[in-house]
């Protein structure tokens, strides 16, 4: 491998930021940090580049060159990695950037008009004034506070601050003062309700205090797991019928068992906290408000599958969640609940927090592994599956935050009690992310089998005087359902039979004040932006799909509307059938459902 240095060197600030992550170049006396060290630390490429961005706002060539030199990564490859991630900009940016969400849930609450007004008053996205600029952003996972924004300020003491209820005034205030304006966080709607399982502690138990967590029953489940032994823990999950909440509804017990039995070592446990499906924010609430539960659940997972190391891959846009999880890990470690001898019982398990850098596809489990390893977040071909060859090529359990949140409750109450709510095919409860045109948006926990109507009613329904137009169920990768489908029981089996999906629990409500077409355009643009670009059906298909939707929305079809709709359907089928990963496979779902279920462009709603 030949390494040619990139022309300009790093600035002192950039060098310091990189060294803070990688350690000083000559840290280990007598053991120069050469090739062996570098190849063992390749996974620090993203953290190092992120540190540069936090310090100076973007990845200057000199800084990229320094990272490349320290980690012995070929410059072309490192450039390929940096250019993959939205939060690792390679073009000059001022220190303060306001990321204004203009995605579906925020649009249902006026984000498009807000952004247009901001353009008119501040200038186009990217305009720099007094060291600050704004860019539009895909869903920030703050949909209950829509329209939402995230302010990032690079510097010696970098800051990341999210806030909701964005108006032009509040956005300009943030840009001018480099401080987020006051954020009103609505309380959890069901706070304190006795039937809550996953949300029981949210809003009631101090999420920053390990003692408060323990006083509220925390760490009893780990003790129970240690009594039961690994095999019985896995059996309990299987008997309870716990299904993955990350989208694919895969049986969690089966997954854990496969890793527990895998001969290849070491094993890893990974928490998928990349939550980037537009309209989804349930994991954020769990991470922010109950972080110790995640630490405990992952420790149980490590014990059950024989892993000593776990990783939390947290989306880059969740600053508060990152701080809370980092603090929880640190407290747990300090108190002997993580480390070489957990609870003094000889169990060795530790956790590392890694932050994403702005790429929806990194929520796909194998893309997530690549990203954790310091590579482009491109999904891998399956098989082999993660239980066989996952992170660093080793057997890996990867679970969604909500899936893991079920584990402590399940072990404490047993599989029978766990199944006392929900249906035979979908036992237990589910978190739903209510957003858009509802009176009380937020995260709700309901038993599986609850009807869509009941879920809407619990959230207060659409504002009075308006009528329901449609619900986007499952997120951008999900489907629209019409007002005639409210009796649908929300279970994996019923939604599957109805040809829709629960996905990540998104229930995005649209009333008659919201036009559908702009939302479809946004969804099409989202998939075009977020395709990793690996495979043809998705790389070119998402581009063509957006062009088609644009023509249909503009009423300027190529040929007739009928031929355009036929082409859209064929394109959808090819993307679904021939794409490598779930992104391409579901990129046409919402758009097709608007045509098929809502009758859009067929003389129906528009």
Partner 1 sequence: MSLHLPVLPERRTVELTVDGAPVSVPEGATLLDACQKLGIDVPTLCFARNLAPVNVCRVCVVELAGARTLVPSCSRKAEPGMVVATDSERVRLSRRLVLELLASSVDLSTAPRVTEYLARYGARPERFGPGAQTVAQPVKVDNDLYVRDYGKCILCMKCVQACGSEAQNTFAIAVAGRGFPAHISTELDVPLPESACVYCGNCIGVCPTGALMGRTEHELRAAGAWEPERQTEAETICPYCGVGCSLVLTVQDDRIVRAASNERSEVTRGHLCIKGRFGWAFVR
540 makes contact with partner 1 (CB under 8 A):
yes
* Cross-strand pairs, 472: 480, 508
CA distance 425 to 447: 12
Q: CB under 6 A: which stretch of 138-146, 207-215, 325-333, 535-543 binds ligand SF4?
A: 535-543
Do 256 and 237 meet the contact criterion of CB atoms below 8 Å apart? yes
Name the binder of 278 from ligand SF4, ligand FMN, ligand FES, none, CB < 5-8 A by kind.
Answer: ligand FES
Site for ligand FMN contains 398 (CB under 6 A): yes
Shortest approach of ligand SF4 to residue 20 CB, angstroms? 33
How far apart, in whole angstroms, are the C-alpha atoms of residue 307 and residue 155? 37
Cβ contact 59:18 at 8 Å: no
Q: How far is the CB of 260 from partner 1 (least distance, A)?
A: 24
SS3 520: helix
Exactly one of 205, 372, 535, 598 binds ligand SF4 (CB under 6 A); that residue is 535
Distance between CA 430 and CA 435 in Å, rounded? 16
Q: Which is nearer to ligand FES, 450 or 476 (CB)?
A: 476
- Which residues of the chain form contacts with ligand FES (CB under 6 A)? 101, 103-106, 139-143, 146, 148, 278-279
Give the contacts of 158 (CB within 8 A, at least 6 positions apart): 54, 55, 152
* Beta-bridge mates of residue 509: 436, 471
Question: Measured from the CB of residue 531, what is the shortest distance to partner 1 in angstroms?
Answer: 4
Are the CB atoms for 252 and 300 separated by under 8 Å? no
Q: Which two tokens stand for residue 402?
A: 């909500």
Under the binding rule (CB under 6 A), the answer on residue 580 touching ligand SF4 is: yes
- Between CA 50 and CA 357 the distance in angstroms is 8
Chosen residue from 216, 439, 533, 561 binding partner 1 by CB under 8 A: 533
Question: Among residues 165, 235, 239, 250, which is the contact residue for ligand FMN, using CB under 6 A?
Answer: 250
Phi-psi region of 460 (alpha: psi -120 to 50; beta: other; left: phi over 0): left
| Residue listed under structure tokens 């986007």 | 472
The stretch near partner 1 (CB under 8 A) out of 99-107, 174-182, 457-465, 566-574 is 566-574
Q: Closest Cα partner for 46 from 399, 369, 350?
A: 369
What's the CA gap between 158 and 140, in Å, rounded? 19
Residues of span 99-128 touching ligand FMN by CB under 6 A: none
Judged by DSSP in three states, 559 sits in coil
Q: What residues between 570 and 589 interact with partner 1 by CB under 8 A?
A: 570-571, 573-574, 576-580, 585
> Most distant CA pair in the chain: distance in Å?
76
Establish if 66 lies at the interface with partner 1 (CB under 8 A): no
> Least distance to ligand SF4 from the beta carbon of 124, Å?
29
Q: Does 380 bind ligand FMN (CB under 6 A)?
A: no
Binding-site partner at residue 322 among ligand SF4, partner 1, ligand FMN, none, CB < 5 to 8 Å by type: none
379 binds ligand SF4 (CB under 6 A): yes
Instruction: Using CB under 6 A, list all residues that contact ligand SF4.
Output: 361, 379, 531-535, 538-539, 579-581, 583-584
Instruction: Using CB under 6 A, list all residues that contact ligand FMN.
Output: 244-248, 250, 252, 272, 274-277, 361, 363-365, 398-400, 403, 581-583
């Amino acid at each position: 491998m030949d390494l040619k240095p990139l022309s300009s060197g790093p600035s002192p600030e950039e060098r310091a930021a990189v060294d803070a992550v990688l350690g000083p170049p000559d840290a280990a006396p007598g053991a120069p940090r050469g090739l062996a060290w570098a190849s063992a630390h390749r996974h620090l490429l993203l953290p190092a580049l992120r540190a540069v961005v936090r310090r100076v706002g973007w990845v200057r060539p000199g800084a990229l060159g320094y990272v490349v030199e320290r980690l012995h990564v070929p410059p072309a490859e490192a450039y390929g990695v940096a250019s993959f991630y939205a939060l690792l900009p390679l073009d000059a940016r001022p220190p303060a950037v306001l990321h204004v969400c203009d995605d579906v849930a925020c649009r249902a609450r006026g984000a498009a008009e807000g952004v247009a007004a901001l353009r008119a008053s501040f200038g186009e996205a990217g305009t720099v004034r007094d060291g600050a600029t704004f860019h539009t952003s895909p869903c920030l996972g703050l949909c209950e506070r829509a329209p939402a924004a995230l302010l990032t300020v690079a510097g010696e003491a970098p800051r990341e601050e999210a806030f909701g209820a964005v108006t032009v005034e509040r956005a300009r205030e943030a840009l001018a003062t480099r401080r987020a304006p006051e954020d009103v966080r609505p309380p959890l709607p069901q706070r304190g309700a006795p039937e809550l399982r996953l949300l029981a502690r949210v809003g009631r138990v101090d999420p920053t205090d390990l003692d408060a967590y323990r006083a509220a029953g925390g760490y009893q489940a780990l003790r129970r797991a240690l009594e039961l032994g690994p095999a019985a823990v896995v059996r309990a999950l299987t008997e309870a019928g716990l299904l993955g909440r990350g989208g694919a509804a895969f049986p969690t017990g089966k997954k854990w068992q496969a890793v527990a039995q895998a001969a290849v070592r070491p094993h890893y446990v990974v928490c998928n906290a990349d939550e980037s499906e537009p309209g989804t924010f349930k994991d954020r609430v769990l991470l922010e408000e109950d972080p110790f539960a995640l630490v405990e659940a992952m420790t149980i997972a490590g014990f059950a599958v024989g892993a000593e190391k776990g990783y939390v891959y947290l989306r880059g846009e969740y600053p508060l969640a990152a701080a809370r999880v980092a603090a929880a890990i640190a407290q747990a470690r300090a108190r002997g609940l993580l480390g070489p001898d957990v609870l003094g019982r000889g169990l060795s398990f530790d956790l590392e927090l890694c932050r994403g850098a702005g790429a929806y596809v990194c929520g796909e489990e194998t893309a997530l592994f690549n990203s954790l390893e310091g590579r482009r977040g491109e999904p891998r071909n399956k098989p082999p599956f993660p239980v066989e060859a996952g992170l660093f090529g080793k057997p890996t359990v990867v679970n969604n935050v909500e899936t893991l949140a079920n584990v402590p409750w399940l072990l404490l109450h047993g599989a029978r009690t766990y199944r006392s709510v929900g249906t035979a095919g979908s036992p237990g409860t589910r978190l739903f992310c209510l957003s858009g045109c509802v009176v009380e948006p937020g995260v709700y926990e309901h038993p599986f089998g609850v009807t869509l109507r009941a879920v809407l009613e619990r959230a207060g329904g659409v504002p009075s005087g308006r009528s329901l137009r449609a619900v986007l169920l499952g997120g951008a990768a999900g489907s629209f359902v019409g007002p005639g489908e409210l009796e649908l029981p929300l279970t994996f089996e019923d939604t599957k039979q109805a040809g829709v999906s629960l996905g990540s629990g998104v229930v995005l409500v649209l009333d008659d004040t919201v036009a559908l077409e702009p939302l479809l355009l946004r969804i099409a643009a989202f998939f075009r932006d977020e395709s990793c670009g690996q495979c043809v059906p998705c790389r070119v298909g998402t581009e063509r799909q957006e062009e088609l939707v644009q023509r249909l929305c503009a009423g300027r079809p190529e040929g007739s509307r009928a031929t355009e709709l036929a082409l859209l359907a064929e394109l959808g089928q090819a993307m679904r059938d021939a794409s490598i990963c779930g992104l391409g496979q579901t990129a046409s779902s919402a758009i097709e459902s608007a045509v098929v279920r809502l009758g859009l462009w067929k003389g129906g709603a528009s």
